[in-house]
Amino acid sequence: MNTSSSASGHAVAVSNPYGHSLPSYLQSDQLGPWGVYLQQVDRVIPYLGHLARWAETLKRPKRALIVDVPIEMDNGTIAHFEGYRVQHNTSRGPGKGGVRFHQDVTLSEVMALSAWMSVKNAAVNVPYGGAKGGIRVDPKTLSRGELERMTRRYTSEIGIIIGPTKDIPAPDVNTNEQIMAWMMDTYSMNEGATATGVVTGKPVDLGGSLGRREATGRGVYTVGVEAAKHIGMDVSQARVAVQGFGNVGGIAAKLFAQAGARVVAVQDHGGSVYREAGLDVPALLAHVAKQGSVAGFAQAEVIAHAAFWEVDCDILIPAALEQQINAGNAHRIKARMVIEGANGPTTPEADDILQSRNILVLPDVIANAGGVTVSYFEWVQDFSSFFWSEDEINARLVRIMQEAFAGVWAVAQEKKVSLRTATFIVACTRILRARELRGLYP
């Protein structure tokens, strides 16, 4: 017997006539991020028709690599860090997904993130599968030299499964253009030839794409504007609250503010700030760039961490980490629309609560797909050695995001399901159709 979870989150038995039960770490009653993903898959299976025969493919990562990352520290001691690279599915193309450096990275998290990348890439119809990587480390505790040595050793260890046509890493939490430059250089040195296409999110001087840094936040803004049209919301009059104020939340906040919206509250790891008349977003971005957090911003009042979720707003953008909106705070949210800038910020229980309260949720697997879309543009440009202008990139990004959202919205209306389930229907159908057409080897 396999175990899966019902909509309520409780484990239920699922018949498997072949007796091939999932290992315990793959089961949804082990409710970490991977368990959340499995619950989402269970909800979409009834809509897959004959492709449901292949649904078990979605519940098993194709390949998971755990590596030891030993480095010499500045003081001469040897430290060991645990690294991961998971390829969830490659039926539609090479694996694609970021690498995060964070002290709370786990296998469950990386597996879930890789699976959401499979769904995200299929939802916007770029020719990638899903992958993700990470190292369990607090990078703030490392010197620049230690960070470089760790990055290069990790890249060498996972080098057996990555490559421009196999699996292409990118930046994620606590990683950036410099990390990608070190990864690209390490892989290239081991291969004996420069391979710019092995990673995306690189510096422009090394084959990176214009517009990549702002792409995820721009995608969040784009789908938010499209959704607002459908529910009769005037974005220029909207009040916005943002959790996380980095490349995703910060850029989205800036774009909404430029459209006339009032960004009334922002929360990050350092604190929460509020101003009913609207925060000065450029000033707050400059403060965060200098101080590392919104804490201490003089032009706003400080509010409690829990009070952030009760802010009276029209649009809420969780753009930090997983499982931030849960059964404990979903009842208190006052927004009309939630746009998921982060990966997996809403638990299935919270999803049900928000839906019952008629709060529209724009799921991560479509809302934050702008980053991987422009990563695809970067990869294409690297292969052709022909680069586009930033205006061209932004225009192509907006068109793809608008078309993807329109398709998801149409399925949601036709099937009378949430936008998350509709996105999974669109994406999983594409993934499993590719799986079926390719068949099984040998």
Give the pairing of strands 95-102 and 262-268. Answer: unpaired
As a whole number of angstroms, the distance between CA 4 and CA 15 comes to 10
The CA distances from residue 39 to 35, 209, 259, 342, 424, in Å, are 6, 36, 36, 18, 12
The DSSP output letter for 346 is B
Q: Poorest-confidence range of 20-24, 102-106, 363-367, 404-408?
A: 20-24
- How many residues are listed for the chain in this entry? 442
Which residues are tagged catalytic? 132
As a whole number of angstroms, the distance between CA 123 and CA 23 comes to 28
| DSSP letter string, 362-431 | E-HHHHTTHHHHHHHHHHHHHHHT----HHHHHHHHHHHHHHHHHHHHHHHHHHT--HHHHHHHHHHHHH
The CA distances from residue 317 to 6, 241, 283, in Å, are 27, 6, 19
- Please give the pLDDT value at position 11: 39
Strand order in the sheet with 337-339: 301-303, 271-274, 262-268, 239-243, 315-318, 337-339, 360-362
- Please give the pLDDT value at position 437: 98
- Please give the pLDDT value at position 20: 56
Which domains can be identified in the chain, with CATH numbers?
2-59 (1.10.8), 63-194 (3.40.50.10860), 213-364 (3.40.50.720)
Q: In DSSP terms, which residues pair with 70 in a beta bridge? A: 80
Amino acid at 89: N
Give the pairing of strands 78-89 and 63-72. Answer: antiparallel
Instruction: Report whether 123 contacts 96 (CB < 8 A).
Output: no
The model's pLDDT over 307-325, given as tens digits with 9 standing for 90+, comes to 999 999 999 999 988 889 9
Residue 137 exposure: Cα atoms within 13 Å on the Cβ side:
28
Share in percent of the chain as helix, strand, coil (round to 5)? 50, 20, 35
Over residues 256-263, mean pLDDT: 96
Here the tokens at position 232 are 């009769």
Over residues 421-434, mean pLDDT: 97
Predicted structure pTM score: 0.89
The model's pLDDT over 140-169, given as tens digits with 9 standing for 90+, comes to 999 999 999 999 999 999 999 999 999 999
Q: In DSSP terms, which residues pair with 79 in a beta bridge? A: 71
- Please give the pLDDT value at position 207: 95
Residue 26 exposure: Cα atoms within 13 Å on the Cβ side:
17
Q: Is 60 exposed, middle or buried (0-12, 13-18, 19+ CB in 10 A)?
A: middle
Residue 346 has pLDDT above 60, yes or no: yes
Over residues 231-237, mean pLDDT: 95
Here the tokens at position 87 are 């390829």
Q: Poorest-confidence range of 6-10, 224-228, 414-418?
A: 6-10
CA 70 to chain centre: 28
Among candidates 439, 424, 429, 437, which has minimal Cα distance to 40? 424
Q: Confidence class of residue 252 from pLDDT cuts 50, 70 and 90?
A: very high
Over residues 270-289, mean pLDDT: 93
